[in-house]
Amino acid sequence: MGDEKMKIPVFDGHYEHWSEMMENLLRAKQLWNLIEPGIIEPAVGIAQSDAQKKKLEELRTRDMQVKHYLYQAIDRVTFEHILNRRTSKAVWDSMKKRFAGNARVKKSMLQKLIRDFEILEMKTSETIPEYFGRVLTVSNQMRSNGELMPDVKIVEKILRTLSEKYMYVVVSIEESNNIDEMTIDELQSSLVVHEQKFKKVDKEDEQALKIEYNDGSESRGRGRGRYSPRGRGRGRGRSSFNKETIECYKCHKLGHFVYECLGCNGSKEANFAGFDER
């Protein structure tokens, strides 16, 4: 891929992220040596061979290429704060000094992140990928501020703070795996599988409940009355209820079933059930 098509990481104020991305790019282009250690100029008065002069000129040409990448990554305001632009190393060091932050700022930020990490817990409404995302966001920020965050520390943190329904899963994972060697990706993949099983079981239970409810409603309504929308029905399986809310589906009056409605069956008088009948 040509340099003109290369995507240069743009500096957006987050120095740690930008510098890592830019360093990776320069290493991939085999240009990082222009930053570390940088061009070492010959001492004044020391004669150089033609080969040494040629090598130095090549380095200076490549250094211009690195500066071109750096200039593409920063805006005009940032550019004006760079006092020494003689070499790409000077540009890089100026950016680092201005934006990397001092030790006190980093220490204060790290203390806050450590507190944030300690109080992290999975919410009942969260999915496994969402919780992993929250934990890794804080973990990566801690790493950027100098904290050692091995995978095992993050794995143990997640296992301790999953929601209650995953407790038996945690026990199973801890008994069948070496937690010290488990990667974050392996843990997430395992938990996602269990999460999908939970969702499937919940869906099946919901469908079974709907079927049971519908079957019960049909058996109560068949050949009898129907519940009036003006009253609330009773729970399933209860042997007694107030017939005050029952509506005859023949005469549409309250207080009796259709088989009790003598008026619907040709009688001159309707035998209404008493409202206090149970």
Encode burial over 227-241: b for 16+ CB neighbours within 10 A, e otherwise: beeeeeeeeeeeeee
Contact between 171 and 131 (Cβ < 8 Å): no
Helix 128-144, helix 103-118: angle, nearest 10 = 160
Q: In whole angstroms, give the CA distance from residue 11 to residue 127.
A: 33
Amino acid 240: pLDDT: 46
- The model's pLDDT over 147-173, given as tens digits with 9 standing for 90+, comes to 889 999 999 999 999 999 999 999 999
Are residues 111 and 88 part of one domain? no
Are residues 251 and 190 part of one domain? no
Are residues 190 and 237 part of one domain? no
> Within a domain: residue 161?
yes
Which residue range(s) make up the domain with 172? 103-196
> Within a domain: residue 204?
no
Amino acid 92: pLDDT: 94
Are residues 107 and 66 part of one domain? no
> Within a domain: residue 211?
no
> Within a domain: residue 201?
no
Q: For residue 181, how far is the Cα from the chain centroid?
A: 24
Are residues 260 and 243 part of one domain? yes
> Within a domain: residue 210?
no
> Within a domain: residue 217?
no
- The model's pLDDT over 116-155, given as tens digits with 9 standing for 90+, comes to 999 999 999 999 999 999 999 999 989 877 888 999 999 9
Total number of domains in the chain: 3
**pTM listed for this prediction:** 0.45
Amino acid 199: pLDDT: 82
Q: Quick one: which of 81, 149, 159 has its CA closest to 120?
A: 159
> Within a domain: residue 30?
yes
Residue ranges of the chain with pLDDT lower than 70? 1-5, 102-103, 201-250, 252, 256-259, 262-278
Q: Quick one: which of 78, 112, 113 has its CA closest to 97?
A: 78
Are residues 109 and 91 part of one domain? no
> Within a domain: residue 267?
yes
